């Protein structure tokens, strides 16, 4: 059974479908990671998580994602690791969609994020419907079955 699953995920014809359902969440707050993961998995999408810039970069170099949901401050300091991550993501994975969910946003950071290709910039706390709406929008551009709607 494992080999069948492995083949289906890695077979060239199925990679787009498999990756169209995979999201990376980058945040240093365990409660946020838990909540977003549960929300997104509930609609049938696979989720990977990362708590820092270095780990997030390893994830995007290892596999492709439909979208990344990232915080701007990943280290708990005034550093804006999120912007650095967005720069790397834009260069290495230009087709990956980006959502920012931050508690430390301002118009300057939002403008910089939009300049790097972020289409959705939210201040925490973010309504779950906004996250799911953005993912549905991204997913609509991929030729694969729709994901479930939570009840």
- Look up tokens 């790097």; give the residue: 116
pLDDT for 12-64, tens place per residue?
Answer: 444 444 456 899 999 999 999 999 999 999 999 999 999 999 999 999 999 99
Q: State residue 101's pLDDT score.
A: 95
User: By C-alpha distance, which of 52, 46, 81 is closest to 66?
Assistant: 46
Structure tokens at 90: 């834009």
pLDDT for 96-133, tens place per residue?
Answer: 999 999 988 889 989 999 999 999 999 999 999 999 99
Q: State residue 86's pLDDT score.
A: 93
CB atoms within 10 A of CB 114: 14
Structure tokens at 8: 């289906």
pLDDT for 57-101, tens place per residue?
Answer: 999 999 999 999 999 988 755 667 888 899 999 999 999 999 999
Cβ(101)–Cβ(70) under 8 Å? yes
Alpha helix positions (H), 63-140: 81-92, 107-115, 128-140
Cβ(99)–Cβ(131) under 8 Å? yes
Helix (H, G, I), strand (E, B) or coil at 17: helix
Helix (H, G, I), strand (E, B) or coil at 27: coil
- Look up tokens 């994020």; give the residue: 113
| Domains of the chain by residue range | 21-140
Q: Is the pLDDT of residue 143 over 90?
A: no
The CATH code of domain 21-140 reads 3.40.50.2300
Q: State residue 3's pLDDT score.
A: 35
Q: State residue 106's pLDDT score.
A: 87
Q: State residue 142's pLDDT score.
A: 64
User: By C-alpha distance, which of 87, 126, 116 is closest to 135?
Assistant: 126
Q: State residue 93's pLDDT score.
A: 94
């Amino acid at each position: 059974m494992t080999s069948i699953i492995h083949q289906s995920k890695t077979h060239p014809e199925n990679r787009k479908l498999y990756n169209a359902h995979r999201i990376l969440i980058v945040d240093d707050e365990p409660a946020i990671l838990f909540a977003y993961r549960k929300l997104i998995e509930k609609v049938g999408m696979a989720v990977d998580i990362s708590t820092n810039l270095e780990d997030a970069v390893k994830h995007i170099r290892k596999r492709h994602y439909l979208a990344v949901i990232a915080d701007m401050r990943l280290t708990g300091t005034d550093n804006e690791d999120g912007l650095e991550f967005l720069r790397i993501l834009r260069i290495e994975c230009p087709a990956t969609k980006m959502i920012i969910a931050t508690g430390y946003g301002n118009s300057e950071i939002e403008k910089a994020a939009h300049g790097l290709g972020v289409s959705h910039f939210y201040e925490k706390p973010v309504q779950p419907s906004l996250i799911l709406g953005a993912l549905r929008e991204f997913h609509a551009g991929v030729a694969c079955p729709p994901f479930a709607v939570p009840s």
